[in-house]
Amino acid sequence: MAAAIALSRRGRGLSTPNPNVGCLIVRDGCVVGRGWTQKGGRPHAEAQALDQAMDRARGGTAYVTLEPCFHLSPRGPRCADLLARAGLARVVIALRDPDPRTDGQGAAHLRGQGVAVDMGLLAQDAAAAMAGFVMRQTRGRPHVTLKLGLSLDGRIALSDGSSRWITGPQARAHAHMERAMHDAILVGAGTLRADAPRLDVRLAGLEARSPRRLALTGGDLPDGWGRISAPQDISTLDRVDHLLVEGGADTAAAFLRAGLVDRLLLYRAPILIGAGLGGIGDIGLADLADAHGRWRLVDERRLGEDRLEVYAAAPSA
Amino acid sequence: MAAAIALSRRGRGLSTPNPNVGCLIVRDGCVVGRGWTQKGGRPHAEAQALDQAMDRARGGTAYVTLEPCFHLSPRGPRCADLLARAGLARVVIALRDPDPRTDGQGAAHLRGQGVAVDMGLLAQDAAAAMAGFVMRQTRGRPHVTLKLGLSLDGRIALSDGSSRWITGPQARAHAHMERAMHDAILVGAGTLRADAPRLDVRLAGLEARSPRRLALTGGDLPDGWGRISAPQDISTLDRVDHLLVEGGADTAAAFLRAGLVDRLLLYRAPILIGAGLGGIGDIGLADLADAHGRWRLVDERRLGEDRLEVYAAAPSA
């Protein structure tokens, strides 16, 4: 299942509005098919894996990160049907589909066709890999990541605004990879004006993965940019399940004040800046006690000289 | 030797003006004596370990973190003499004594008496454990640690100055333990006025280990406080080899501008504060390129919900 979850990440930022599902088919100890949801949502992961496996799927086990769909769509077949017809002996599912059109019916259909079904294996990891889809289904809005590139003392720039470079090439490449895994990137009016950021993916082979560009502003926009006028408007964005907020401080604060940040990406360089610009503006915190218990470290790694820390919002936040 | 270095840390903040040395004596695979420099510098680690070992030292091996002294002192015997007379077969030394009164002569004396001597084992670790003594010998000033208690976004307080609490009880206890390992603690005039900090060690059994209190100020001082008027004045402080700078932002910046911070202690709480006070004022950084290459992560650990990172100044800084 961990391998299926890893496959599912390949579709992140591409498969929207469909969930980025991963699927692995195993028979006699060999992987006979692998699939992940393709660009725009089709084919589904299961269909792709079955195409690879062909008749080797018969009697095998499918590992799929989300319950196979069982609702009719003009865009393709129902995966629960496909899996049953392919003669799989067993289907292991990580996450039950929160989409009410399936929500347990996919598993029920498989069982009805004599397929053994297990559901819940690594469900939390699968949900994290498909965070945008889950957030859209459960709260009707995209999953929001806030990215900050910081010095040890929490500065994102010198007082004059210069920020090239705080982090090193490995951290910047990682940040570009994160861009490729989001449907849209958002900055504030100040950052748009000051930095005229391209916000594209500058990684060899991934140039076409540059996400849509959005600004939180009432002002003018360059060509090719979209706009929202308040953080809450993200729920109205079409085909945006994974949103990356890249700054500046006021925009970060606006999303935090609205409770609309699900994940923090902190790229930290081993430098001190002293007087300079902070990464987050006024979030309306009046009592330190209210700041605690909201963030949980979920990942960390070295990136050259820098360190990446990933925090997830605590469930209550 | 690692065990001897661990012993040496027990004397840190107590043994000044003498180095906090650790010594372990081993014979036939058993530890027969352990010692570390005692309060005020006497007895020396070797004398204490030999007292414990008594005649079991004969034919054994001594592990000592600093070359045994060979200069005459009215305060006690020369350790190189003591070790030779005790009949040790071998003495393993981490760090050659930078004090010109010994500087190789301790080892030479031992060899002259037929004792096998090895020097240099874990010398860097030993030097780090005796950082104050080494800094005093090589640069004529104390070793300076700057402590900061930060939110993830680098704030040390809300805008109104409130900072209770950013870090949790484990991190605060660790910070008190650090106090106990320093000869003196220093704050700026603003912190002195605003927080009236006690700067004592509030750990059961270690109350008597509270270090001297100093302020960087030209203004009035409470009873029991000392004063310096510029960071450079630390070289004039008597019996201060380990100095802990606890803030505020202007004092931290003054020490950093002067190049007088050797070690950073960052206690980081998993919270966001947003608008608030930064931990470090203007350090005169005009170009981000100048900020790089100065700090190296040497230790990190979890302390309850918080994380401690320890950085050492790069040798060139």
ipTM higher than the 0.95 cut: no
Mean pLDDT of the region B40-61:
95
- For residue B73, the distance in angstroms to the closest alpha carbon of chain A comes to 44
- For residue B185, the distance in angstroms to the closest alpha carbon of chain A comes to 21
Residues of A noted as catalytic? 46
Statement to judge: residues A220 and A296 lie in one domain: yes
Task: Evaluate if residue B312 carries a pLDDT over 60.
Answer: yes
- For residue A193, the distance in angstroms to the closest alpha carbon of chain B comes to 21
What confidence score (pLDDT) does residue A196 get? 67
Query: Closest to B283 (Cβ–Cβ): which among A266, A274, A305?
Result: A274
Contacts of B170 in chain A (CB under 8 A): none
Statement to judge: residues B122 and B162 lie in one domain: no
Lowest mean per-residue pLDDT among B40-44, B83-87, B191-195, B260-264: B191-195
- 8 A C-beta contact, residue A65 and residue A72: no
Between the alpha carbon of residue B284 and those of residues A145, A268, B280, the distances in Å are 33, 21, 11
Statement to judge: residues B150 and B271 lie in one domain: yes
- For residue B163, the distance in angstroms to the closest alpha carbon of chain A comes to 7
- For residue A263, the distance in angstroms to the closest alpha carbon of chain B comes to 12
Return all residues near A233 (Cβ < 8 A) that are at least 6 apart. none
Comparing B317 with A311, the larger pLDDT belongs to: A311
A297 and B158 within 8 Å at the Cβ level: the answer is no
* 3-state DSSP assignment of residue A307: strand
* 3-state DSSP assignment of residue A43: coil
Nearest C-alpha neighbor of A46 from the set A143, A100, A60, A113 = A60
- For residue B172, the distance in angstroms to the closest alpha carbon of chain A comes to 16
- 8 A C-beta contact, residue B216 and residue B254: yes
Nearest chain A residue to B282 by CA: give it.
A275
Mean pLDDT of the region B161-180:
93
Contacts of B292 in chain A (CB under 8 A): 269, 271, 305
Return all residues near A82 (Cβ < 8 A) that are at least 6 apart. A46, A47, A50, A68
> pLDDT per residue over A62-119, tens digit each?
999 999 999 888 888 899 999 999 999 999 999 999 999 999 999 999 999 999 999 9
Lowest mean per-residue pLDDT among A144-153, B184-193, B194-203, B255-264: B194-203
Separation CA A43–CA A76 (nearest Å): 8
Nearest chain B residue to A289 by CA: give it.
B165
Mean pLDDT of the region B204-227:
86
Query: Closest to B270 (Cβ–Cβ): which among A158, A272, A297?
Result: A297
> pLDDT per residue over A266-306, tens digit each?
999 999 999 999 999 999 999 999 999 999 999 999 999 99
Tokens 């090439």 correspond to A169
Task: Evaluate if residue A31 carries a pLDDT over 80.
Answer: yes
Nearest C-alpha neighbor of A80 from the set A96, A136, A30 = A96
Query: Closest to B288 (Cβ–Cβ): which among A158, A286, A295?
Result: A158
The pTM of this model reads 0.90
A150 and B151 within 8 Å at the Cβ level: the answer is no
Task: Evaluate if residue A202 carries a pLDDT over 70.
Answer: yes
N- to C-terminal Cα distance for chain B? 29
Last residue of a domain, one of A135, A162, A179: A135
Query: Closest to B288 (Cβ–Cβ): which among A164, A305, A309?
Result: A164
Query: Closest to B274 (Cβ–Cβ): which among A271, A283, A294?
Result: A283
Task: Evaluate if residue B195 carries a pLDDT over 90.
Answer: no
Mean pLDDT of the region A253-267:
97
Mutate to test the interface with A, among B256, B280, B296 (most CBs of A within 10 A): B280
* Beta strands in chain A, from DSSP E residues, in sequence order: 22-27, 30-36, 61-66, 90-95, 116-119, 143-150, 155-158, 184-188, 212-216, 225-228, 242-245, 263-268, 276-278, 295-303, 306-313
A151 and B291 within 8 Å at the Cβ level: the answer is yes
Statement to judge: residues A186 and A274 lie in one domain: yes
Task: Evaluate if residue A10 carries a pLDDT over 90.
Answer: yes
Mean pLDDT of the region B213-236:
92
Residue A169's CB is within 10 A of a number of other CB atoms, namely 12
A155 and B291 within 8 Å at the Cβ level: the answer is no
Q: What is the CATH number of the domain that holds B306?
A: 3.40.430.10
Secondary structure in 3-state letters for chain B: CHHHHHHHHCCCCCCCCCCCCEEEEEECCEEEEEEECCHHHCCCHHHHHHHHHHHHHCCCEEEEEECCCCCCECCECCHHHHHHHCCCCEEEEEECCCCCCCCCHHHHHHHHCCCEEEECCCHHHHHHHCHHHHHHHHHCCCEEEEEEEEECCCEEECCCCCCCCCCCHHHHHHHHHHHHCCCEEEEEHHHHHHHCCCCCCCCCCCHHHCCEEEEECCCCCCCCEEEECCHHHHHHCCCCCEEEECCCHHHHHHHHHCCCCCEEEEEEECCCCECCEECCCCCCCCCHHHHCCCEEEEEEEEECCEEEEEEEECCCC
Strand A242-245 and strand A184-188: pairing? parallel
Statement to judge: residues A130 and A149 lie in one domain: no
What confidence score (pLDDT) does residue B147 get? 97
Statement to judge: residues A98 and A234 lie in one domain: no
Mean pLDDT of the region A24-50:
95
Full residue range of the structural domain in which residue A163 is found? 141-313
Task: Evaluate if residue B270 carries a pLDDT over 60.
Answer: yes
What confidence score (pLDDT) does residue B168 get? 96
Mutate to test the interface with A, among B266, B272, B290, B307 (most CBs of A within 10 A): B272
N- to C-terminal Cα distance for chain A? 29
B280 and A295 within 8 Å at the Cβ level: the answer is no
Write the burial class of residue A301 (CB in 10 Å: 0-12 exposed, 13-18 middle, 19+ buried): exposed
Mean pLDDT of the region A225-249:
94
A274 and B282 within 8 Å at the Cβ level: the answer is yes
- 8 A C-beta contact, residue A263 and residue A310: yes
- 8 A C-beta contact, residue A247 and residue A194: no
Statement to judge: residues B296 and B257 lie in one domain: yes
- 8 A C-beta contact, residue A245 and residue A145: yes
Query: Closest to A281 (Cβ–Cβ): which among B256, B275, B286?
Result: B275
pLDDT range class, residue B231, cuts 50, 70, 90: very high
What confidence score (pLDDT) does residue B303 get? 97
- For residue A92, the distance in angstroms to the closest alpha carbon of chain B comes to 35
Task: Evaluate if residue B93 carries a pLDDT over 60.
Answer: yes
pLDDT range class, residue A23, cuts 50, 70, 90: very high
Separation CA A5–CA A45 (nearest Å): 11
Comparing A194 with B29, the larger pLDDT belongs to: B29
Write the single-letter amino acid at B165. Answer: W
What confidence score (pLDDT) does residue B196 get? 67
What confidence score (pLDDT) does residue A316 get? 58
pLDDT range class, residue B209, cuts 50, 70, 90: confident
Separation CA A134–CA B154 (nearest Å): 32
Separation CA B153–CA A252 (nearest Å): 11
Query: Closest to A273 (Cβ–Cβ): which among B152, B163, B291?
Result: B291
Statement to judge: residues A116 and A45 lie in one domain: yes
Last residue of a domain, one of B112, B135, B158: B135
B280 and A305 within 8 Å at the Cβ level: the answer is no
Statement to judge: residues A283 and A166 lie in one domain: yes
Side-chain-facing half-sphere of A41: CA atoms under 13 Å: 15
A280 and B295 within 8 Å at the Cβ level: the answer is no
pLDDT range class, residue A317, cuts 50, 70, 90: very low
Contacts of B276 in chain A (CB under 8 A): 278, 285
Q: What is the CATH number of the domain that holds B130?
A: 3.40.140.10
For residue A305, what is the DSSP state? T
- 8 A C-beta contact, residue A65 and residue A94: yes
φ/ψ of residue B140, rounded to 5: 65, 30
Task: Evaluate if residue B202 carries a pLDDT over 90.
Answer: no
Last residue of a domain, one of A135, A157, A180: A135
Statement to judge: residues A157 and A119 lie in one domain: no
- 8 A C-beta contact, residue B52 and residue B77: no
- 8 A C-beta contact, residue B155 and residue A154: yes
B278 and A275 within 8 Å at the Cβ level: the answer is yes
Beta bridge partners of B14: none
Nearest C-alpha neighbor of B237 from the set B228, B229, B245 = B228
Statement to judge: residues B11 and B41 lie in one domain: yes
Strand B242-245 and strand B143-151: pairing? parallel
List residues of chain B with CB under 8 Å from any CB of chain A.
148, 150-155, 158, 162-166, 253, 256, 264, 266, 269-276, 278-286, 288, 291-292, 294-297, 305, 307, 309, 311
Nearest chain A residue to B290 by CA: give it.
A271
Mean pLDDT of the region A169-183:
94
CB burial of B226-245 (b: ≥16 within 10 Å; e: otherwise) equals: eebeebeebeebeebbbbbb
Separation CA A218–CA A192 (nearest Å): 12
Task: Evaluate if residue B317 carries a pLDDT over 60.
Answer: no
Strand B212-216 and strand B184-188: pairing? parallel
Write the burial class of residue A123 (CB in 10 Å: 0-12 exposed, 13-18 middle, 19+ buried): middle
Secondary structure in 3-state letters for B244-281: EECCCHHHHHHHHHCCCCCEEEEEEECCCCECCEECCC
Statement to judge: residues B76 and B186 lie in one domain: no
Average pLDDT, chain A: 93
Contacts of B272 in chain A (CB under 8 A): 256, 264, 280, 283, 285, 291, 294-295
Beta bridge partners of B226: B214
* 3-state DSSP assignment of residue A269: coil
* 3-state DSSP assignment of residue A28: coil
Counting the structural domains of chain B, the total is: 2
B256 and A274 within 8 Å at the Cβ level: the answer is yes
Contacts of B247 in chain A (CB under 8 A): none
